[in-house]
Every structure is written in C-alpha cells, then in structure tokens.
C-alpha cells in the first residue's frame, strides 16, 4: 500500500453534481455521495458499480480470438470488502493531505482540487465521512433499502443515475413469455398518500446523498398506465423529492397497448408537469413475433403512441428484443422492426435500444420456443445480429433524410440500482 506522502502526491479531487470524485494516480478512481458512501469505483481497468442495496457489479474488457469482450459479474456478499477498505483508505489519506494544502489548485502535496464554490473545509469533512463509512453503516443501508423499495428490477441504461420513485409496483400485464422481472409481485398503483410516504422514506434513506440525483425515474414497469388525474398528483409529489433541482425531469416506462389509452392531449399535460422521456418496450415490429412473445399491441399501436408522445413534446426510447424468436423469426423480426422505426416521427432526442435476449429463467419462453420449433441464436450469431441491426437501422435513417438514428445497446445484465 502506498504511504501517505506517495498517495497524496498523486491525488485529484473533483466535486460536481453532489458527488466527490477522488482520483488516485492513473489506476484508481472512487466516487462518493455527500454521506461519504461509495457509489462507484475504477481500479486497474475494472469498473465497479455499487447499488443502494449493497450489491456490486464488476465490469472489465477481455480479448478472445482477437475480439474485445465485455465481461461482468456480481460480487458475492462480503467479497468486495477490499474495495471498500481501499476507498476508505484513499479518502483518509486525501483528508490528511488536504490538511497540509494551503488553498485550491495544486498544493504542497500536489493535491489538485476542482470544486467551484465549495470551501476546502467542507471537502475535508466530506472525505472524513468517506473514510469513516464502515460496516455498520453499510448494513444499515441494506436494511433501510429493503424497507423503502420493492425490488427495482430494471431501468433504461441512460436512467441508471436517476432517483427511482415507485409510484406503481409490478407490471399491469405481466404475461410476456420472455420477462420475469415482476412475477414476484402483484401490480398496484400507490395512492397519493402512500406515494408521499414512499418519497419521504427515500429521502430519509439517502439523506444528504440525495444531492447526487438530478432527475426522476417513475417506476415500476409501466407507471404511466395510471389515470391522468392521479398521475398529475403523483408527478407533483415526485418533483418534491429533489428540492435542490429547480425543474427535475421525469422519465418512465410505458407499454404500447396501455399507451394507446392516452392521447397527445393527456401526454401534453404530463410533459407540462415534467415528463421528458418515455421508454416503450416495443420488442418487435412483427405481429407474428409479438404473438410468439405473448406481447399485446403491434406496429400500428406503436406508431399511434409514438406519434402522440412526439406531438406532446416528449422524447422516446424504443426497446427492441434482438434475438426474439431465434433463427426461425430472425429475418422477419429485424426487417419488420426496421420498417416500423423508419415510419416513426423520431428526432435527435430519441434513441433506439437493442436489448439482446438473455435467458434468465424464463420458463414460459423456453416452452413457447420448443412448441414453435424455435432454435436460439448462439453467442456469435447474437453479436452478428446486433451488428446488423445497428448497421441497417443507421442506413435506414440516412435514406429517410432524417439523419443518423441514435442506436445503442441495452444489456440488462449491466443494471444495478
């Protein structure tokens, strides 16, 4: 382990958006919230995301047969104690070094500090909280999380840093063969009184750490299914959760078949109350593939909902399940999905998410596949298919004259809240 002087000579501190980033030389980064709780870290080419329930996801890149492969694994309970200890020690050494640093910028011990408007004393206190965030506090966090939240099953990748507020629990449909996220709970919509209590409990759980959040994700699976008058109340309560943000944006999931029950006028009212992005689990532009997945709706319904959302001023995230239907539906699934996207009134704010089909214990899907004679894509075939979707989706946007369509990977194995 480096000595205090060796470590201090290689320290950079950055404070931004309610987070303190501690960079130790070229190989380690630790990020803490205002409580001093570790949020994420990077060490020796490995990245670590730390969930509010104390789960930890480790990610790194490896090479196989000349190809770069993203590796990932969930750390077992207690397995990441060395990471916690290293983060505490780095914070402790940085706090000591700051005690000998006369002012902002590079001090006597080469501690570079970038924190506009935040006194050095407060930064030092922040580091001391991080250095003292011991096992008792971690255990308390896990207990409180279990009391405050129903399991947070999944979120869109660009919402991982949002504050989750569960206006609804579960999924109002919950019968898609490929999805097991909400099978452990009964769908219900919280009343305004229940939701306010939930928001207050979230604020108490996070304490000062809530300052690291600047937008809201309204959960669970399809919170926007709630009636409009109730949604307007829930939106108002949700926005009170982040008093340090003047106008927090709200995002949420919505199913195509429930979304058709609301029109542009209703979505416009929600946009006026903070709704910015709606994520639609389209899954496929092929009615035949959707039937195989037991997913209601269809391309016409998707067009209607997206058109209404765009008319209301919302951005959309369209999620497609690449690999659904295996080899049997491979061409039909891709071609009809590309055709659907080409017809939609998308703009630069919108994103198409390609989510590879992951076998995570979906017994219903496996039975449906066996009955339909569906053979799943191999790992290599899935990579080829993802690449082809991206290429053809991009070319489709160019041909339509709308410019490049934003397409990105949505790997559910990388989710952690």
In the numeric block, the tokens 């209301």 are attached to 312
Banded pLDDT at 373 (limits 50, 70, 90): very high
| Strand blocks (E) in 222-330 | 249-254, 275-283, 315-322
The continuous run of DSSP H or E covering 188 comes out as strand 188-189
Do residues 239 and 250 make contact, with C-beta atoms less than 8 angstroms apart? yes
pLDDT score, position 402: 62
pLDDT score, position 331: 97
Do residues 41 and 83 make contact, with C-beta atoms less than 8 angstroms apart? yes
Percent of the chain with pLDDT over 70: 93
Of 10-14, 202-206, 308-312, minimum mean pLDDT range: 10-14
Banded pLDDT at 8 (limits 50, 70, 90): very low
pLDDT score, position 102: 46
As a whole number, mean pLDDT of residues 287-298 equals 95
3-state secondary structure 339-360: HHHHHCCCCCCCEEEEEECCCC
pLDDT score, position 310: 97
Percent of the chain with pLDDT over 90: 82
pLDDT score, position 238: 98
Of 9-18, 100-109, 187-196, minimum mean pLDDT range: 100-109
pLDDT score, position 361: 64
As a whole number, mean pLDDT of residues 51-69 equals 90
As a whole number, mean pLDDT of residues 13-29 equals 94
- pLDDT tens for 216-242 read 999 999 999 999 999 999 999 999 999
Retrieve residue 155's tokens. 């979120």
Banded pLDDT at 403 (limits 50, 70, 90): low
The DSSP code for 54 is S
- With 80 as the cut, is the pLDDT of residue 298 above it? yes
Banded pLDDT at 107 (limits 50, 70, 90): very low
pLDDT score, position 401: 56
Paired sense of beta strands 111-114 and 11-16, if any: parallel
Retrieve residue 115's tokens. 């924190």
HSE of 191 in the Cβ direction (CA atoms, 13 Å)?
Answer: 2
Paired sense of beta strands 28-32 and 38-43, if any: antiparallel
Q: Please give the Cα distance from 49 to 40 (Å, whole number).
A: 5
- pLDDT tens for 118-154 read 999 999 999 999 999 999 999 999 999 999 999 999 9
- With 80 as the cut, is the pLDDT of residue 109 above it? no
Minimal CA–CA distance to 7: which of 82, 100, 125?
A: 100
pLDDT score, position 395: 83
As a whole number, mean pLDDT of residues 392-414 equals 80
The continuous run of DSSP H or E covering 164 comes out as strand 163-166
| Strand blocks (E) in 97-143 | 105-106, 111-114
Do residues 54 and 138 make contact, with C-beta atoms less than 8 angstroms apart? yes
Retrieve residue 274's tokens. 């903070």
Strand, helix or coil at 320?
strand
Banded pLDDT at 399 (limits 50, 70, 90): low
Do residues 56 and 48 make contact, with C-beta atoms less than 8 angstroms apart? yes
As a whole number, mean pLDDT of residues 172-189 equals 93
Of 84-88, 228-232, 251-255, 363-367, minimum mean pLDDT range: 363-367
- With 90 as the cut, is the pLDDT of residue 245 above it? yes
Contacts of 113 (CB under 8 A, 6+ apart): 12, 13, 98, 101, 104, 105, 107, 120, 123
Banded pLDDT at 81 (limits 50, 70, 90): very high
Do residues 248 and 197 make contact, with C-beta atoms less than 8 angstroms apart? no
Q: Please give the Cα distance from 24 to 10 (Å, whole number).
A: 6
- With 80 as the cut, is the pLDDT of residue 294 above it? yes
Tally of residues, the chain: 417
């Amino acid at each position: 382990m480096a000595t205090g002087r060796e470590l201090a000579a290689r320290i950079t501190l950055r404070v931004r958006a309610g987070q303190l980033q501690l960079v130790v030389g070229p190989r380690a980064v630790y990020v803490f919230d205002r409580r001093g709780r570790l949020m994420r870290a990077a060490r020796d080419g490995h990245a670590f995301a730390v969930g509010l329930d104390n789960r930890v996801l480790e990610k790194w890149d490896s090479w196989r047969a000349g190809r770069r492969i993203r590796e990932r694994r969930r750390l077992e309970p207690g397995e990441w104690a060395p990471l916690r200890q290293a983060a505490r020690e780095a914070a402790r050494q940085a706090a000591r070094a700051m005690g000998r640093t006369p002012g902002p910028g590079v001090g006597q011990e080469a501690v570079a500090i970038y924190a506009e408007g935040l006194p050095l004393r407060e930064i030092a206190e922040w580091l001391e909280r991080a250095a003292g965030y011991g096992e008792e506090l971690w255990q308390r966090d896990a207990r409180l999380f279990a009391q405050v939240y129903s399991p947070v099953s999944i979120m869109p990748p660009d919402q991982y840093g949002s504050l989750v507020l569960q206006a609804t629990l579960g999924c109002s449909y919950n019968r898609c063969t490929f999805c097991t996220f909400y099978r452990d709970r009964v769908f219900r919509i919280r009343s305004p009184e229940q939701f306010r209590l939930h928001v207050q409990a979230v604020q108490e759980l996070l304490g000062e750490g809530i300052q690291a959040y600047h937008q809201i994700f309204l959960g669970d699976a399809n919170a926007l299914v709630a009636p409009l008058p109730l949604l307007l109340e829930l939106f108002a309560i949700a926005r009170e959760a982040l008093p340090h943000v003047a106008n927090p944006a709200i995002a949420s999931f919505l199913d195509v078949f429930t979304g058709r029950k609301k029109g542009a006028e209703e979505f416009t009212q929600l946009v006026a109350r903070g709704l910015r992005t709606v994520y639609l689990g389209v899954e496929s532009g092929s009615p035949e593939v959707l039937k195989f997945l037991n997913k209601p709706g269809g391309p016409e319904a998707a067009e209607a909902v997206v058109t209404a959302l765009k008319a209301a001023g919302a951005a959309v995230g369209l999620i497609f399940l690449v690999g659904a239907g295996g080899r049997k539906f491979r061409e039909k699934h891709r071609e009809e999905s590309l055709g659907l996207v080409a017809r939609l009134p998308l703009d630069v704010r919108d994103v198409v998410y390609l989510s590879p089909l992951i076998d995570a214990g979906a017994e219903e899907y496996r039975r449906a596949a066996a009955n339909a004679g569906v053979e799943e894509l191999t790992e290599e075939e899935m990579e080829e298919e993802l690449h082809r979707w991206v290429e053809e989706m991009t070319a489709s946007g160019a041909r339509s004259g709308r410019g490049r369509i934003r397409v990105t990977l949505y790997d559910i194995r990388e989710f952690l809240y």
